[in-house]
Amino acid sequence: MNPGDEKEILRNEAENLEDIDRFLHTGEAWLRRQHEESLSGREFCRQRASLLDRVIQRLLKRSVSLLRGEKSSLGISLLAMGGYGREELSPHSDVDLLILHPPGKVKNLESYLQAILHPLWDWGLTVGHTVQTSKESLRAAHKDLDLFFSFLDARWVAGDRGPFSTGRRNSRNRSAAKKRK
């Protein structure tokens, strides 16, 4: 994957899906070649997670461009969870996403998410996703210990950092308050 190619693609407002698909498949082919030559398995997984981050960022940018026609934030945050969040994304791993949105209804949220998720599925990736507000996410995490620990691996990928930062801060504050009791 030539870094110059990526910079050129990022200059475009709304990329077409064929360009993003080509970027994904070219990047995966490059990673396989690097792995065959000497790239460690751990580094392969880390770089594959980074590749998927860039693909998801482009898909979000494309969805905003197509559906909104402007660059302003939707207020949603796309987070990598599980192995993807830990940057342990092997070739057949699931791509687990948590999509945080502000309370109330984000206009056309379903359309934005379809524009991001459907291409990933069409390209053969197994994508799991959950859509919640930060408050719903925090509430669910405090009811389920496994879910709570999975949030420790959460990593921001695209969108507004606000819901992710708020959720992280609220989770720490709530955990600290429970420890004091």
Q: Out of 105-114, 122-131, 151-160, which region has the weakest mean confidence (pLDDT)?
A: 105-114
pLDDT at position 84: 95
> In which band, very low, low, confident or very high, does the pLDDT at 67 lie, cut at 50, 70 and 90?
confident
pLDDT at position 177: 52
Sign of the C-alpha dihedral computed for residues 141, 146, 152 and 154 taken in this order = negative
Beta-carbon-side half-sphere exposure of residue 25 (alpha carbons within 13 Å): 11
pLDDT at position 1: 45
As its CATH architecture, domain 3-180 has 2-Layer Sandwich (3.30)
Overall average pLDDT of the 2-30 stretch: 74
Query: In degrees to the nearest 10, what's the CA dihedral of 175, 86, 101, 65?
Result: 160
> In which band, very low, low, confident or very high, does the pLDDT at 93 lie, cut at 50, 70 and 90?
very high
Question: What predicted TM-score, i.e. pTM, was given to this entire model?
Answer: 0.81
The segment with the largest mean pLDDT, out of 97-101, 119-123, 148-152, 176-180, is 119-123
Beta-carbon-side half-sphere exposure of residue 126 (alpha carbons within 13 Å): 8
Summary mean pLDDT of the chain: 83
Structure tokens given for 35? 């792995």
**Is the model's pLDDT at 157 over the cut of 70?**
yes
Residues 6 or more apart in contact with residue 44 via CB below 8 angstroms: 31, 34, 35, 90
Overall average pLDDT of the 84-90 stretch: 94
